Homo-oligomer: A and B are copies of this chain.
Amino acid sequence: MIEDLIKQNRSSRRFHQEHAVDIATLKSLVNLGRLSASGANLQPLKYILSCDPEQNAKIFSCLAWAAYLKDWKGPQEGEQPAAYIVVLGDTDISKDAGCDHGIACQSILLGAREKGLGGCMLGSINREALREHLNIAKQYNILLVVAIGKPKEEVVIEEIDTEGSIRYWRDEHGVHHVPKRELEDIIIGEYTA
């Protein structure tokens, strides 16, 4: 059931770093993005893959993690992602990728979850530094970095509290809590026959 997979597919930020993710796996995930919808079928997305510890460390240095967890600077050595998929928008194809990267990355992460992996789409990126580290030509906008690995944390969805905060938080057991708006709060109109 796709609903189960979507529910299991929580953003993971701590991983069993020693659990390797090989390049064939990354390619199979990108292939799921490739086969997904694209606005006007332009397909402007391009990808850089890394499962190399040295490059991973460079990519990691360009990422900001979990802005709401003020005391947490991101996963420590040993809990970092084993792989990354850098998602680019090729401006030679389209100036604006629309929401193509959202569509593709959801496919990618659902595929990862099915394989017992998981990850997180990261948009808070030091783009200038990443461009330099990976030698990314100006033609490409850096849209997202998808971290991939074997998750090492428990993530639970919960209702938004009475104060209405959507800030995720971590309890004393390290469980990551994610408040989600209720269905009745996000459906603002219904027309039935």
Contacts and interface: CB of A to CB of B under 8 A. Distances in A.
* Identical copies in the complex: 2
Contact of A191 (B36, B49, B98, B107): B49
Interface string A49-88: 1111111000000000001100000000000000000101
A42 to B, nearest CB: 6
Given A1-B114, A40-B67, A47-B186, 16 more contacts: A2-B2, A3-B28, A3-B32, A27-B187, A30-B183, A30-B187, A37-B120, A43-B166, A47-B188, A48-B187, A49-B190, A55-B191, A99-B101, A99-B105, A106-B107, A110-B110
Interface of A: 1-3, 5-7, 9, 11, 22-23, 27-28, 30-32, 34-37, 39-43, 45-55, 67-68, 86, 88, 98-107, 109-111, 114, 120-121, 123, 134, 140, 143-144, 157, 166-168, 178-181, 183, 186-193
